[in-house]
Structure 1
């Protein structure tokens, strides 16, 4: 029988947890022998073997990502450094902790997270550094040089007995080196190379087999909604304060500039991840294997902290520019929130490590195993000059297909998030079905700089039943000109 819900095609299970520790997961991976290795919030690293947890390493400071090497060693990004941990005598307990780099700035602000570590084809590692929050201020001792652009000195930001400060920091700030940047670290020399700036809370850091770097960022100031980026060297991606580290910057506090001015400097995202409708707080990114996961093989997916789902990205190219659509993936009713860290097993199981870090979320590790039950799914989404072309994995019955669609914009401003701007319902002029391809044209012209929220109704197949996920969100930075 064909599947019609996500719970029909993925099997959910919970893994046992070690006792006596905070079971929030900061990093997750699979060792070469297939055993799960997890770094917990308070710094323990443990291995699950034969259903039992064994302490492998300890003493880490807020680990938030790892890469497992072929020899079973791990490279972990902590709040303060990138660390390689090894079991050199193969006795099942790590004995070597090697600091690969600790060259980024820290003010002691609670929000200065460090995410990663994604390995580049040349063997270097990418680490993405979050900005600080003005809710937390700075500490008297900092690491790295302070940038006093706009007259905001370190002295003026220190805590006071009254709680008042001489100068106000931007809502999210980057006053020490590389905050708001993705950096590249040479593990042999420890040398840091800045890659790109303009990030706020870049949780997901991923390199695909082609060597392309993808990062997602969380909604906030200068982000009307969360976003997914394909990162290019030297680009600025929109969150203002890290601009103070540009060579020759002399324009004061970047967040005081008009959005129109900052817009001229930034590189656009691949797509938005609409707040509330899809992803409030996107997390780790993975590429599914080409030879697994049925119609989803090769797709980019990511975790989501605040809703019981993962998220799937479908790329498109318009006028030579990359953009695309996002939609729900593995929205299992038992999954819950806090889906921060992902690890992919050879049997098409996605292990999901959960955390909350004092926000909405959860704890522990669960498994979602793709069970290959046949079902109808969207395989590809392409913009056309007057609408969209959607390709399915099986021919569709054209009888009852309809399209529900709206479009809207988002503000680019220093306020937190954005409402939907000029939300407009769209009527369809035509719907054509040719086997597995559904092509529909709107009655009005396509408009750039819009998010298209589209739901296909009545889509079904004689063989595979109804479409398992009919709604997608397409970010149209570009549209075709006639």
Structure 2
């Protein structure tokens, strides 16, 4: 079961997709603060990591690592220190015991400053157990998990093929430096790391065998959906034989019955309405500094220059969840996000390579909560006969108890080898009953039917808060 929730409708369209039309209203709750970048500097941020001294390290597409100071000043006057250069397309940064662990296209590298002059002078290969020969063969890296492991999600060759070793796979790198293939079937990842429950997930992009962008659980031994990378099972003896070949043109829930290792998406983002090329993400652990969305996933989108939210839950052993609009109006394509020490959301990226709504070639911006409480859907969770909808502010009792205030529709996608795909098999379940809690923060809705494997989309535009 997958949910998509929105209080507001889109207004008009442009080449890269519909505007939500909400930036002006969002500004009252979450303002965008620009970080000036010196004119002689190009900072196409692809990865962030917060250091013990509260500086934030930035890994860039051009292979540089900058150390950024003054990230939480009211009117930022940032200081950029070039720590390392000469790397390649940095899409993962971790830090431990004074060393950076850098995920670049060709390898994971341990980078240190041995003489203490503030510049990297030692570069050691941690793992190069994958191939690299094509511009699209990006490598997205995680932070350390509690056991000290790192993870890498590897994009395919030229977006469609797996010509180099383990392209389209996820790998685990252990504290002892051993590289272990753990999942096949990736297509074009945008980030990898924990969800709000500390389970390993990754972002997948729309394309062949993926009709829309999605957030997927990385199940060790699992198959994530794209069969082009089956050719490397012979180099991954711990994974067993390749799964059965999925049949193009079906539905993912029916193919799951045939292809037992297939891992369906946990959250699917309706294409264009909720991004087109979703990228790095981070869990909000700011303890209320960023408003009412604690322990939720915040994700950037490259094409539409937006930030979204997502939540996940495990039901009968299967991960599922919901996605929500959050903030549009950023200045460039967002490649990654990171919470600052004071609980603001640092967003960075570039417009290089593909169409982007934001007009700047690269930018660093900070989203900060103004202290005003927005009226939003805080969380959608499954219930026995429908859904529990939690809100950030009390819902008006008269409107909130009327079943007609809750419009629900459903759809799924064709699971096929073609590029992307339409929304199909639409249904319109009837909202049979609504129970609103006394405090107005929780609405439990009962539907005439729940459809397995379908996105359940909520249009709640008529709801109002009590104030």
* Equivalent residues of 2:100, 2:111 under 8 A apart: yes
**1:303-452 to 2 correspondences below 5 Å:** 303-329=300-326, 331-333=327-329, 335-361=330-356, 362-401=361-400, 402-435=405-438, 436-442=441-447, 444-452=448-456
Cα-Cα RMSD: 2.6
2:2 is the alignment partner of 1:7: no
Q: What corresponds to 2:44 in structure 1? A: 24
Partner Cα separation in structure 1 for residue 228 and residue 412 of structure 2: 23
Change (3 A) 1:234 1:14: same
Superposed displacement of residue 393, structure 1:
3.5
Query: How do 1:210-225 and structure 2 match up within 5 A?
Result: 211-225=198-212
Question: In structure 2, what is the Cα distance between the partners aligned to 1:277 and 1:359?
Answer: 18
Residue 82 of structure 1 deviates from its aligned partner by 0.5
Q: What's the TM-score, normalizing by structure 1?
A: 0.80
Q: Does 1:184 align with 2:160?
A: no
- 2:231 partner SS: helix
In the alignment, which residue of structure 1 is the partner of 2:457? Answer: 453
Q: Deviations over 1:168-187 (max 9, x none)?
A: xxxx1223321111101135
Other structure's SS at 1:204 match:
strand
Distance 1:383 1:255, change over 3 A: closer
TM-superposed deviation, 1:448: 1.1
For 1:259 and 1:291, locate their aligned partners in 2 and report how far apart those are by CA, in whole Å: 43
Q: Does residue 58 of structure 2 align to residue 41 of structure 1?
A: no
Q: Aligned partners of 2:64 and 2:381: how far apart in 1?
A: 45
For residue 18 of structure 2, what is the aligned residue in structure 1? none
Q: Does the Cα contact within 8 Å between 2:219 and 2:263 map onto a contact in 1?
A: no
CA distance in structure 2 between the partners assigned to 1:243 and 1:90 by the alignment: 46
In 1, the alpha carbon distance for the partners of 2:221 and 2:36 equals 44
Residue 136 of structure 2 corresponds to residue 114 of structure 1: no
User: 1:79 corresponds to which residue?
Assistant: 105
> Is residue 204–residue 302 contact of structure 1 (8 Å, CA) maintained in 2?
no
1-side partners of 2:430 and 2:195: how far apart? Answer: 38
Change (3 A) 1:320 1:39: closer
3-state SS, counterpart of residue 246 of structure 1: helix
Counterpart position of 2:83: 56
Partner of 1:270: 266
Please list every run of 5 or more consecutive structure 1 residues that lacks an aligned counterpart in the other structure. Answer: 135-171, 466-482
Alignment-derived partner of residue 126 in structure 1: 151
Q: Distance in 1 between matches of 2:348 and 2:81?
A: 17
What displacement does 1:374 show?
2.5
| Highest RCO, 1 vs 2 (Cα 8 Å, sep ≥ 6) | 2
Contact conserved, 2:233 with 2:242, CA < 8 A, in 1? Answer: no
CA shift, 1:315, in A, is: 2.2
SS in 2 for 1:294: coil
Q: Deviations over 1:230-257 (max 9, x none)?
A: 21110111011122223576899x5887
CA deviation digits over 1:126-181, x for unaligned, max 9?
Answer: 011001127xxxxxxxxxxxxxxxxxxxxxxxxxxxxxxxxxxxxx1223321111
Secondary structure of the structure 2 residue equivalent to 1:461: coil
Between the aligned partners of 2:140 and 2:305, the Cα distance in structure 1 is 22
1:23: Cα distance to partner?
3.1
State whether residues 60 and 91 of structure 2, in contact with CA within 8 Å, keep that contact through their aligned partners in structure 1: no
1:193 aligns with 2:189: no
* C-alpha displacement of 1:367: 0.7
Q: Distance in 2 between matches of 1:182 and 1:192?
A: 10
Tell me, which stretches of 5 or more residues in structure 2 are unaligned?
Answer: 1-22, 71-77, 235-239
C-alpha displacement of 1:208: 5.3
Instruction: Describe the shift of the 1:186–1:428 C-alpha distance in structure 2 as closer, same or farther (beyond 3 A).
Output: closer
Aligned equivalents of 1:431, 1:250: Cα separation in 2: 47
Residue 206 (structure 1) shift: 0.9
Q: Would the alpha carbon gap of residues 382 and 117 (structure 1) be closer, same or farther in structure 2, given more than 3 Å must change?
A: closer
CA distance in 2 between partners of 1:255 and 1:451 (Å): 21
Q: Are 2:280 and 1:288 aligned?
A: no
Instruction: Tell me the CA shift for residue 83 of structure 1.
Output: 0.8
Alignment-derived partner of residue 8 in structure 2: none
Any conservation in 1 of the 2:429–2:449 contact (CA below 8 Å)?
Answer: no
Identify if the C-alpha distance between structure 1 residues 49 and 430 changes in structure 2 by more than 3 Å, giving closer, same or farther. Answer: closer
CA contact (8 A) 1:25 1:41 kept: yes
**CA spacing shift, 1:434–1:35, aligned 2, 3 Å:** same
